[in-house]
Homo-oligomer: A and B are copies of this chain.
Amino acid sequence: MALSLYDLSVSVFTRGLGQLAHLLDKGLAHAQAHDIDTATLVGARLAPDMFTLAGQVQSASDASKLGAARLAGITAPSFPDTETTYEELQARVAKTLDFLKTVERSQIDGFETRDVVVKNRRGEMHFTAERYLLQFALPNFFFHVTTAYGVLRHSGVPVGKMDYLGTF
């Protein structure tokens, strides 16, 4: 027995986005309880040249959406980064989860050696599907979910590690 690429990608992303939605729910409840404008949370960040909470949520969405699509050899839907309100960020997470539901196990499992090409401003990076997931997609996804957590926590939202990890 060994592990399935689908379980390691779509299932992990789905769980992680569920926890991100939970963290955002806690942020909203905190804002409402303390008369904090949610726009303050949306624009909060850990350093002046880092992404805001909005950017972290959009990046977590992209990391999982593109991660699953590249492994499946399909084109991910375009989600322009137009969210400006807290509710729109929550909707971004929800529609990313909806997309992940459409990715089939049969599109991913068995394709561990599929070519994956990531283009960025530095040029093209070439991976096998397995190496892409382990060295790029998973670390990148958890980076943005964790940084969203860090921004909320830094903003005074009472979240703890189990809000990030989830229930067992």
Nearest-neighbor residue (CB-CB) of A133 within chain B: B3
B residues in contact with A134, CB < 8 Å? 3, 7-8, 11-12
Q: How many of A's residues come within 8 Å of B, CB to CB? A: 41
A143 → B minimal CB distance (Å): 5
Nearest-neighbor residue (CB-CB) of A7 within chain B: B134
Task: Tell me the number of copies of this protein.
Answer: 2
Chain A: interface secondary structure?
helix
Q: Which stretch in A21-29, A32-40, A73-81, A146-154 binds the other chain? A: A146-154
B residues in contact with A135, CB < 8 Å? 15, 165-166, 168
| Chain A contact residues, CB within 8 Å of chain B | 1-5, 7-8, 11-12, 15-16, 46-47, 50, 109-110, 112-113, 125, 127, 130, 134-136, 138-140, 142-143, 146-147, 149-150, 153-154, 156, 161, 164-166, 168
